[in-house]
Amino acid sequence: MRTIRVRRGEGGGDGPRVSGPRRLAGRLRGWGGVSAMAAACAVTAAAVLLPLAQAAPEAGGSTSVRERASVAVAPDALWGPGDTCQNPEASLRPSGVDGPTIERIRSAGKLVAGVDQNSFKWGYRNPDGHLDGFDIALVKAIAKDILGDESKVIYRAIPTNQRIAALQEGRVDIVVRTMTINCKRLEEVAFSTAYFEAGQQVLAPKDSTITGYDTSLKDRKICVAAGSTAEAALASQSYGAVPVTVANQLDCLVRLQLGEVDGIITDNALAAGQAAQDPSVRLVGSPFTREFYGVAMNKDATDLVRRVNKVLENYRAGGNDSPWMMAYRAHFEGVLPQAVAPPEPKYRDG
């Protein structure tokens, strides 16, 4: 299988070079509530041309974790038939008891959270520059529980393929970034119980003949994020597609708008947000996986894992008036189907 590497832009930027057919002007629409075409193009141009570390910082201390100069190829088995561990979504039982990780976070006075700043409705920047989204709301709930103040967070934007490394190297305390719980990742990091259910699906232009994750992908350039479950899925079964790998999932939407790829494979929950940004694209076919997002932490931070699970217990509680449901309505009403409830937690001992 041939992988097309993304070249860095001028000045060392992490974004893709702009080349190929120029369909952006005719296809790009509203961006995170910014309806003016000029503003939309300006934001998209920034996503294409600026390195992630140059994005405007969040007030109070947002930083970015830059992609390394040489990106290793992600393992093929992040998802797929080899993912055979029992109950990967089962996490440690919740506890409010303080431990060494909690004490360290309190001593620092800040929770350091690895997030996305480019995924509409999940982790993205509003026109005023502040981070917003479903994942950001959860980060704030965790900070409020541990530190008593939801604003005591240092947000660090990390590429998809740097989520695990950022935890292992101690650059962040938690990663809340639409990160799927699976067996391979459990060998390297710890996860909370699941806080959202999604599935892999194909996103394509409305006029495309691509019909889903099937033989209609043959000879088509299909974009995936490095280190994602979509990349592993396409490696396992490509249907003759030509993979195009990028550092961040939003880069796929930019490439699709520029006509440089024919489709995207990603979580359908992420793709729904992208379709809300650009009405000229749509989800096609059916989801071909069932995946659960979890808060990722260092494997040794068992006290933090238990504490986050306690936060999630309270976050889910209250039925239609729970913090989870209020965050869902705030960010996904009219974008995703009506949610019945968050995923039921699974626990294990030891």
Share of the chain above pLDDT 90, in %: 61
Residue 346 confidence class, pLDDT cut points 50, 70, 90: very high
| pLDDT at res. 262 | 98
> Any long-range contacts for 207-213 (C-beta under 8 Å, 24+ apart)?
208/262, 208/263, 208/284, 210/262, 210/263, 210/284, 211/284, 211/285, 212/284, 212/285, 212/286, 212/288, 213/239, 213/265, 213/285, 213/288
Residues 46 and 322: their CA atoms lie apart, in Å, by 36
Nearest of 38, 39, 21 to residue 257 by alpha carbon: 21
- Rounded average pLDDT over 119-132: 91
Rg of the chain over Cα atoms, rounded to whole angstroms, equals: 19
Residue 188 confidence class, pLDDT cut points 50, 70, 90: very high
| pLDDT at res. 210 | 97
Q: What is the pLDDT of residues 46-58, one digit of tens each?
A: 332 222 222 333 4
- Rounded average pLDDT over 16-20: 36
Residues 283 and 300: their CA atoms lie apart, in Å, by 39
Q: Is the pLDDT of residue 236 over 60?
A: yes
| pLDDT at res. 74 | 31
Residues 115 and 125: their CA atoms lie apart, in Å, by 11
Residues 74 and 335: their CA atoms lie apart, in Å, by 31
Q: What's the pTM?
A: 0.73
Cβ contact 332:324 at 8 Å: no
| pLDDT at res. 220 | 98
Q: What is the pLDDT of residues 256-306, one digit of tens each?
A: 999 999 999 999 888 888 888 788 999 999 999 899 999 999 999 999 999
